[in-house]
Amino acid sequence: MNIGIIGYGKMGKDIFSLFFDRLPDAHFTVLDLTGAEENTDALLKTLGKSLKRKKLTEEQYEFKKSSFLFTDSISDMKDCDIIIEAVFEDLKVKQDIFRQLAGTVSESCLLLTNTSSLKISDVFDGVPHRERCFGLHFFYPVKLSGFVELNVIPDSSEENIAKAKALVTAGGKKPIIFEGSYHIYLNQLLSCMIGHAIIMKERLDVSVNEMNNALAPFFSIAAPFDILDSVGLGLMGRDPESFRITRSRPLHIKNYETMKSWTENGCPQAPLTFLGYMAEKETDTGNVCENAELDMTAFLLNETVNALEEYSGDKNTLFEAICDTLGLAEAPSFYYKKFGTEMIFSALDKYAEATGFAAYNHKDKSVWDRYFK
């Protein structure tokens, strides 16, 4: 198998490393416009260390060191069977890449984009044989998530989807298929969670730090504003035009407008800068973050129920992917039993009345019981 990677920034490097380590017989071509020679030398040194530490046999080492090519020429990707694009989020740049690839690779080569915020069908505009085109979205860092999103378009063929699923599985991840308004759903979920945390912060008149600390015990890995800090406002604060689940749109817009105001007031957009900036600009109020866990529980469980009711694929896989993405400290059923529907529904009704957002509308208790009891 010949795998191509377009872009060797943080995400591209993580995707390459995942498959390079997991697929012992694969060959790789990496389009790297600025550091091809430097990255080749670095990878050869890493392989040499693995050989010395006996993590590789001599035979494995000899194969591995000749199994990759870093190049600045897209023509070197002509023999690839699968190409994963992982450049920065610029629609025109991605479109230009795939149009060039379409004239370079075979008609059967899978063309996959890792976009986390752009409309999938737009990325492949003008590309022939669209049955081999769809999104393959990894989370960053790649090692933290057990799932990879396959964001398929109407033209994507079942045969090619099966190939992509097999690739993801070989890489030690679980594939989950999304289409239409559910494209990039797990990112939409995180965006909504952060948007809800912003509304909670404003309603309680507390600082970002106070709200984040109040929510931290609820999450095993990262609270909402930790995620925002890690990703950065540059990516998380993009115009959510590609987020198309109707009930969630007002929350995404609220999220976008708040982040836009933060950046306009001087907040850096790079990763790992948000929390530091807010700590300098905001003073802790001393106000109690009353019912923070309940209010966040109510929102996340409600979104889970609504998604499961709408999703046309494997609901068990979706439920597992949601739990993996959110990283709650306990299983959803734990919080459902802890608070009960009366308290949860009361919290949702409070936010629905205050905002008018459909994201807080909830199904009947009988529906919730099917998923959490």
> Higher pLDDT residue, 235 or 27?
27
Write down which residue in 183, 213, 235 finishes a domain.
183
Strand bridging mode 110-113 / 82-85: parallel
Same domain, 12 and 81: yes
Same domain, 262 and 286: yes
Q: What is the domain count for the chain?
A: 2
Domain with 237 in it:
186-372
Same domain, 169 and 234: no
pLDDT band at 324 (very low <50, low <70, confident <90, very high): very high
Least confident of 21-25, 102-106, 139-143, 268-272: 139-143
Same domain, 204 and 288: yes
How many Cβ atoms sit within 10 Å of the Cβ of residue 162? 11
Same domain, 194 and 96: no
Same domain, 71 and 148: yes
CATH of residue 319 = 1.10.1040.50
Same domain, 340 and 209: yes
Same domain, 175 and 198: no
Quick one: tokens of 106? 């075979």
Q: At a CB cut-off of 8 Å and minimum separation 6, what does 96 contact?
A: none
Same domain, 204 and 350: yes
CATH of residue 48 = 3.40.50.720
Same domain, 271 and 360: yes
> Higher pLDDT residue, 242 or 311?
311
Same domain, 170 and 213: no
pLDDT band at 141 (very low <50, low <70, confident <90, very high): confident
Write down which residue in 148, 168, 183 finishes a domain.
183
Looking at residue 181, its pLDDT comes to 92
Q: What percent of the chain has pLDDT over 90?
A: 92
68 burial via Cβ count (<10 Å: 0-12, 13-18, 19+): buried
- How far is Cα 276 from Cα 268, in angstroms, rounded to an integer? 10
- Give the global pTM: 0.91
Amino acid, single-letter form, for residue 44: L
pLDDT band at 146 (very low <50, low <70, confident <90, very high): very high
Phi, psi of 111 (to 5 degrees): -115, 115
Write down which residue in 168, 183, 198 finishes a domain.
183
Same domain, 204 and 80: no
